[in-house]
Amino acid sequence: MKYSLCTISFRHELVSFEHLIEYAHRTGFAGIELWGVHARALAHTFQSQIEPWMSKLKSYGLKIPMISDYVGLMDNQSPPSAMNMKLQEWIDLAYRFETRQIRIFAGHLGSSQADDEQWELCMDRLRKLTEKLAENGLTLVLETHPNTLADTLDSTLRILKEVDHSSLRINLDFLHIWEGGSDPIEAYQALKPWISHFHMKNVTEPEQLAIFQPQNVYSPSGLREGMVSLREGIVDFERIVTCLTDDDVDCCASLEWFGKEPFQYLSGEMEWLRHVSTPSIPYEVRR
């Protein structure tokens, strides 16, 4: 298994991209997942530095596995020109940061809330976006996430069947697929042919899942209580990591951390993950 850190984990930190590159290399990460907000900011403000940054990344054997962004797939008022502008922006950013994957959410309504018209609008836009990205050698990645059409295993499989394109892939978020009522390993087995990335995070109690709602995550004063390390939460990540290791999975998994002290947390997680993948490696709990 290969692991990436997410720049969104540092959304409230004053830290440079070059610092993150050095930290990722030093800590044993294989890559850096770029939040779309950060990718745009870097591309617009630091154009001359992108090439040196990418050279440093590659010299360390690191890469940008994915750019994670958002688009209004169910917005009836959104003109085709707006969707085309977003598409072109993704292509430009993917080229600049040498990645092939663009991650989005499948709309803004849960699968049980959307009516037939909303489903069809979302599927039609997904088909068009996937086809255009594929023409440019890129892949569209849908994340399993609450309050989207990909909020359960069944609805995610339905999307894959209806869009029916080899360049539409899945970012399996183990916590959220569990939240949607599925066993994470069973979901992994069912979605395996389409998975190209994983997200890993955990929480102490089901009642605290709301802390991952976007409005809370993005707020500097949002609640963080309940966000815990992978080994401590309600989803059994030791079982998951062992399964992925046994399967010799070639995908990358990003560690999504939205709590405090991201440097300390991520360093500890990498130590634990190395221990789980190779039990002979000692592990010491960091506090």
Q: What is the mean pLDDT of the chain?
A: 94
pLDDT attached to residue 78: 76
Q: Per the structure block, which two tokens stand in for 119?
A: 């489903």
Q: Using 50, 70 and 90 to split pLDDT, how confident is the model at 198?
A: very high
Q: Using 50, 70 and 90 to split pLDDT, how confident is the model at 76?
A: confident
Is 32 in contact with 62 (CB distance < 8 Å)?
yes
Is 101 in contact with 139 (CB distance < 8 Å)?
yes
Q: What is the pLDDT of residues 210-226, one digit of tens each?
A: 999 888 898 888 999 88
Among 194, 175, 195, 196, residue whose Cα is nearest residue 184: 175
The residue annotated as part of the active site, out of 38, 108, 145, 176, is 145
Q: Using 50, 70 and 90 to split pLDDT, how confident is the model at 277?
A: confident
- Residues 198 and 67: their CA atoms lie apart, in Å, by 13
> Any residues with CB less than 8 A from the CB of 32 and at least 6 apart, and which?
4, 5, 6, 7, 20, 21, 24, 57, 62, 64
100 phi and psi angles, rounded to 5 deg:
-115, -5
Catalytic annotation present for 197:
no
pLDDT attached to residue 285: 60
- According to DSSP H, which parts of 136-183 are helical? 153-163, 174-179
103-112, 128-137, 163-172, 217-226: which range is least confident on average?
A: 217-226
Write the DSSP symbol of residue 231. T
pTM for the model: 0.95
18-22, 184-188, 209-213: which range is least confident on average?
A: 209-213
